[in-house]
Amino acid sequence: MSRRPIIAGNWKMHNNKAQAKELIEGILAGIKDLDADKMPEVVVAPTYTALWQVHDLIKNEPKIALSAQNVSQFAKGAYTGEISIDMLADFGVKFVIIGHSERRQMFNETDEAINEKAKAILDAGLIPIICCGETLEQREAGVTDSHIEGQITKALANLTADEVIKSVIAYEPIWAIGTGKSCDAVEANRTIGEIRKVVAKLYSQDVADKIRILYGGSVKPSTIVEQMAQPEIDGGLIGGASLEAESFVALVKGAM
């Protein structure tokens, strides 16, 4: 099964307008001579305040797509501080990251809310990047697979097979995010294979074979080639290494 890889940069709460412009210009310069037919799908997820500027810089560049880092599950109304999916669509957003462990842990996002967000994103014709992952305590207790199965089952509830195929899943072991530790490529591949089995159980093997599943968690240029050599890993959701053009471009090249 041929699945186009994705290299997605999650900028988190970094980069003002000037920094965003400098970073995007560096990325564009680094990928301009790459063969588009051999490249992974390249995605950047700036902060809300930089979305329009980044959209303006990449709107005529087919090699790079725009993502948001989160969205409200509500269409409109008295939800102070929230951003709706229609607002994101106005910015030319193609992808939306949801269920990131930082959102779950720091902002109390539930599996049910993540499912509602996935539905809103898909209804708008955009693509959710649905995150899942375990804590170090859960891994040491041997419940990684069952914990992630619960997350995925709840996140995909009531989605059609076609909607699931359009979606992206990102496996991010929480203990490897921003710590400098990276899950061993073989073990990351095994865990992602387990996620694919969950999708097959919920839908079909065909759906499981088509959905793209990324690895995230201290992904670096020094690890990407080994990670991409694994048959279940379809790319990376990148944090820190996406904040410098040179390292992000190196990740794109490593996924080719």
Is 14 part of the annotated catalytic residue set? no
Distance separating alpha carbons of residues 54 and 60, to the nearest angstrom: 11
The residue from 41, 134, 163, 172 that is catalytic is: 172
The number of angstroms, rounded, from the C-alpha of 180 to the middle of its chain's C-alpha atoms is 19
Which CA distances in Å does 48 have to 11, 79, 88, 144, 219? 11, 16, 9, 32, 24
Dist CA 232 CA 221 (whole Å): 19
Q: Is 226 a catalytic residue?
A: no
Annotated catalytic residue within 55, 61, 100, 102: 100
Q: So which residues are the catalytic ones?
A: 100, 172
